[in-house]
Amino acid sequence: MAMNEKALGELLDKDAIRDLVLLYSRAIDRQDIDLLRDLYTEDATDTHGDSFDGSADDYCKFIEGSFPYMPYSGHHVCNHLIAVDGDSASGEVYALAWHLIPTREGGQQEDFMAVRYIDNYRRCADGKWRFSKRVVTYDFKLRRPFDGGGTLGQGALDPSYTVCAQRLFARGARG
């Protein structure tokens, strides 16, 4: 019986960690900086390839500063392998990331990457899992001119905030 309880606990932890990773994508793509800040431990670090290396707090400031220049981003989580060990865990997340960014000439370009997030997670005193260390590898990068369309990132106006009434979809830090 104890083995089944341990296995069930590990499955619940892995599910909470998967939600954490999906909430990261939502925070970036919906430009919700309060949610993003809530996903990291106070002492967390984030290394995003050659674009950022430092504290999670500084990373959040870096990302917040990029929002006005990134009218669209879409992070699509693929494979996610997780190992849980008590109140700490590690994971490797494969993801596809699309960004729409300005060109030097005043146009727009598509910035597409196949990335891997190599993560350390920690269960905090409030029971929530958070990133304690995030290292991002850019396994593949492609930039090309963009002349497409679409809603291009609706931020706070995204319909998910009104259509999905549960707290999970609310703007801001997790409740």
Q: What is the Cβ-side half-sphere exposure of residue 57, based on CA atoms within 13 angstroms? A: 3
- Domain at 50, CATH number: 3.10.450.50
Domain interval for residue 72:
2-169
Would strands 88-102 and 52-55 be described as parallel, antiparallel, or unpaired? unpaired
* Domain presence at residue 31: yes
Q: How many domains does the chain have?
A: 1
What pLDDT does 118 receive? 98
Per-residue pLDDT tens over the stretch 83-101:
999 999 999 999 999 999 9
* Domain presence at residue 174: no
* Domain presence at residue 175: no
What phi and psi, each to the nearest 5 degrees, are found at residue 25? Answer: -60, -45
* pTM metric for this prediction: 0.93
* Domain presence at residue 29: yes
Per-residue pLDDT tens over the stretch 63-79:
999 999 998 999 999 99
What pLDDT does 149 receive? 80
* Domain presence at residue 148: yes
* Domain presence at residue 24: yes
Q: Over range 32-51, report the average pLDDT.
A: 96
